[in-house]
Amino acid sequence: MRMPATASNDAPAADTAVVLVNLGTPDAANTAAVRRYLAEFLHDRRVVDMSRWLWCPLLHFAILPLRSGKVAHKYASVWLPEGSPLAVHTRRLAEALQRELPQLRVIHAMRYGQPSWRATLQQLREQGIKRVLALPLYPQYSTTTTASVGDVLDAAQGLDKRLVHDYHADPDWVAAVAESIRRHRAAHGPGEHLLFSFHGLPQRLAAAGDPYPRQCEASARAIAQALGLAEDAWTLSYQSRFGREPWLEPATADTLTALAARGVRQVDVVAPGFAVDCLETLEEVAMMLAEDFAARGGKLRYVPCLNESPAHAQALAGIVRRELAGWLPADP
Ligand SMILES: C=CC1=C(C)c2cc3[nH]c(cc4nc(cc5[nH]c(cc1n2)c(C)c5CCC(=O)O)C(CCC(=O)O)=C4C)c(C)c3C=C
Ligand SMILES: [Fe+2]
Ligand SMILES: [Fe+2]
């Protein structure tokens, strides 16, 4: 008889690992490290699906030489003593989740850069791990992010594997984000307008069926409802556009301009597409967009990501427990 796997605190599962997989980040805030990182990231066909005949010359002779130095400078402006914010918070979140799930082995890996997701899977197998639950740190599913984590998992041999598809409407995660906004407003004063800023995506991918924008809309609506916000008290927008083709709209920068023109003087910006703070939230939103909005006479207050907060770790632990409870062991 096949018994469901359990993941209660009293049922040790020494052969099961949970891996939080994030995007990845450079290992130093300098041009060479950023160039290495961007080269690996932007060679993934899930991220850029152009013909290699067109893309490789553009990447190697224009994008990498021109972008790496500029982006390294941006990383330097948010770098922490222990490293890149994305790396630091991802590691701390895995440690916090390990405390919630002492019966399991919890680690983290990066799709690009270190610790390498591919190498992590091989090491786990060598260490005698039989089952791996991959939890991509992307609340909303996209072919450009979650599916790429899944590609590497699919290619790993000799493991019983499972991937968390998304958690964009998970009630505990929604409650944790809503509570972080409530606390931010309690600490800094009531808010005038709430802007949900998600990472963007080429419109072409959304038109081809990527569920990402629908899931972003559902996340924002659920969080706004949990906060009891009126329809006109919040807006959704997309940031971090890359390249020349049309990306999802409205753009966060344009939305802030429009809000300022409408006379809105204070905007709280939250980024629930990012599990942890990173270049895109700290430099692009909390620094650059905040400066632009201030120049228009407004105040942008950035609500930090859930990062390694207990509420975040508890929400992820709930997701892990449910996934493991429904996971039948593989046939011997
Ligand atoms: C075609 C290019 C890109 C797509 C598609 C894309 C989708 C996408 N990205 C994230 C999350 C993150 N992206 C981050 C940085 C980043 N993203 C791109 C390009 C695309 N992203 C680039 C080139 C970069 C690097 C910085 C730069 O050169 O501008 C990050 C932060 C990494 C860090 O080190 O802090 C995150 C996180 C999602 C969720 C997503 C699709 C939905
Ligand atoms: Fe190339
Ligand atoms: Fe990105």
ipTM for the predicted complex comes to: 0.98
Give 277-281 contacts, CB < 8 A, sequence gap 24+. Answer: 277/85, 277/86, 277/89, 277/304, 277/305, 277/307, 278/23, 278/25, 278/84, 278/85, 278/86, 278/89, 279/25, 279/71, 279/74, 279/75, 279/78, 279/84, 279/85, 279/86, 280/199, 280/239, 280/240, 281/305
pLDDT at 4: 40
179 labelled binding-site residue: no
Residues of the chain with pLDDT under 70: 1-12, 328-332
pLDDT at 12: 53
| Residue 12 burial (CB count, 10 A) | 10
Give Cα separations from 178 to 228, 275, 299 (angstroms).
10, 14, 21
Residues lining ligand 1, CB < 6 A? 23, 25, 38, 47-48, 67, 71, 84, 86, 138, 142, 144-145, 199, 201, 212, 240, 242-243, 273-274, 278-280
Residue 210 burial (10 A CB sphere; 0-12, 13-18, 19+): buried
Give the single-character DSSP code of 232: G
pLDDT at 330: 55
- Of all atoms in ligand 1, which is nearest to the CA of residue 279? 35
pLDDT at 7: 42
pLDDT at 326: 84
User: To test the ligand 1 pocket, which listed residue (22, 23, 86, 281) has its Cβ within 8 A of the most ligand atoms?
Assistant: 23
Nearest CA to ligand 1 atom 34: 25
280 labelled binding-site residue: yes
User: To test the ligand 1 pocket, which listed residue (68, 145, 240, 282) has its Cβ within 8 A of the most ligand atoms?
Assistant: 240
pLDDT at 2: 36
